[in-house]
Amino acid sequence: MTEVSVTKDEVPPTGEPLVVLDGVNKHFGALHVLQDINLTIGQGEVVVVIGPSGSGKSTLCRAINRLETIDSGSIALDGKPLPQEGKELARLRADVGMVFQSFNLFAHKTVLENVTLGQIKVRKKDKKAADQYARKLLDRVGVGNQADKYPAQLSGGQQQRVAIARALAMDPKVMLFDEPTSALDPEMINEVLEVMQQLARDGMTMVVVTHEMGFARSAANRVVFMSDGQIVEEQSPEQFFTNPRSDRARDFLSKILHH
């Protein structure tokens, strides 16, 4: 196995460390999908994870709220290690917002119910307060007038914005985005990215797995480049896009930026 040196430019995590991955390993059968991952995400930081498909970036993202289990190493959120499956883990997941590639809105519930369900059942808010907060969030992501429709009646971009509102309704400490625009028609990508950009400006801690280089450039504090289950490069976006250190990153960028 060739030695891959991780190039780290000095971009210290801003704020207190919120998510800390330490020596995380994971296998899917013979595939070593996460290889000794060390990553610290600071309070209020926006970390964009990019890399070729199959590089383990989605798995990394999903491991942070334990939708994927890990084989070894540790993941801590706000100083506390992720608990095993059970009530404790459910509590922790409530503090970690997640936005999926395929939206995953609850198909049998209205848009409003999608955003209130977690507040009522998990946060134990009363229905009125939950409704109020949900409507505020739906307005904020620009779909306030769709509140009484079912998800299937919305466009992909609208659905994904509802999904963001649903995650935000839990007042999460950190938001995970697992390729949030990859299933969208091109003309709908921007409406979702704008919401995410606004969120970043408001100081939300975010981990974003994406192929949107424009978003990485403009919103990220730090770019993490993954390849073959390893973090190959961690840089400021400016550094990464203008002067990538590793060959893998240079190769990747040349493929996606010039066409």
Partner 1 sequence: MNVLLDHLPEFRDGFVGTLLLTLASAAFALVLGVLLAAFRVSPVPPLRWFGTVWVTLFRNTPLTLLFLVMWFVVPQIFDVGMSPWVKGLMALGLYTSSFVCEAVRSGINTVPFGQAEAARSLGMTFGQTLRMIVLPQATRTVIPPLSSIMIALTKNSAIAGAFSVTELFGVQKLLSDQGFAIAWIFLWVALAYLVITFAISGLFRLLESRLEVAR
Name the site residues for partner 1 (rule: CB under 8 A).
65, 67, 85, 87, 90-98, 100, 102, 104-108, 117-118, 121-122, 150, 163, 166-167, 170
Q: Do 231 and 38 meet the contact criterion of CB atoms below 8 Å apart?
A: yes
Of 105 and 138, which CB lies nearer to partner 1 in the complex structure?
Answer: 105
One-letter identity of residue 30: A
Q: How far is the CB of 235 from partner 1 (least distance, A)?
A: 29
Report d(CA 212, CA 189) in Å as an integer: 9
Q: Choose between 46 and 169: whose C-beta lies nearer to partner 1.
A: 169
Residues in a beta bridge with 222: 47
* Sequence-ordered strand ranges (E) for the chain: 7-8, 17-28, 31-42, 46-50, 72-77, 80-81, 96-99, 174-178, 205-209, 222-227, 230-235
How far apart CA 62 and CA 28 sit, in angstroms, is 14
Question: Measured from the CB of residue 29, what is the shortest distance to partner 1 in angstroms?
Answer: 19
Choose between 147 and 167: whose C-beta lies nearer to partner 1.
167
Minimum distance between the CB of residue 106 and partner 1, rounded to whole angstroms? 6
**Residue 250 CB contacts under 8 Å (≥ 6 apart), including other chains:** 244
Q: Which is nearer to partner 1, 90 or 256 (CB)?
A: 90
Q: How far is the CB of 61 from partner 1 (least distance, A)?
A: 11
Cβ of residue 149: shortest distance to partner 1, in angstroms?
A: 12
Counting Cα atoms < 13 Å in the Cβ hemisphere of 68 gives 20
* Closer by beta carbon to partner 1, 138 or else 216: 138
**How many CB atoms lie under 10 A from the CB of residue 94?**
17
Cβ of residue 249: shortest distance to partner 1, in angstroms? Answer: 30
Give the integer Cα–Cα distance in Å for 124 and 114: 15
Q: Smaller CB distance to partner 1: residue 67 or 213?
A: 67
Q: What is the DSSP letter of 28?
A: E
Q: Is 130 helix (H, G, I), strand (E, B) or coil?
A: helix
Q: How far is the CB of 92 from partner 1 (least distance, A)?
A: 8
Both tokens of 154, joined, read 């919305």
Closest to partner 1 by CB, 161 or 248: 161
Compute CA 58 distance to the chain's CA centroid, rounded to the nearest angstrom: 9
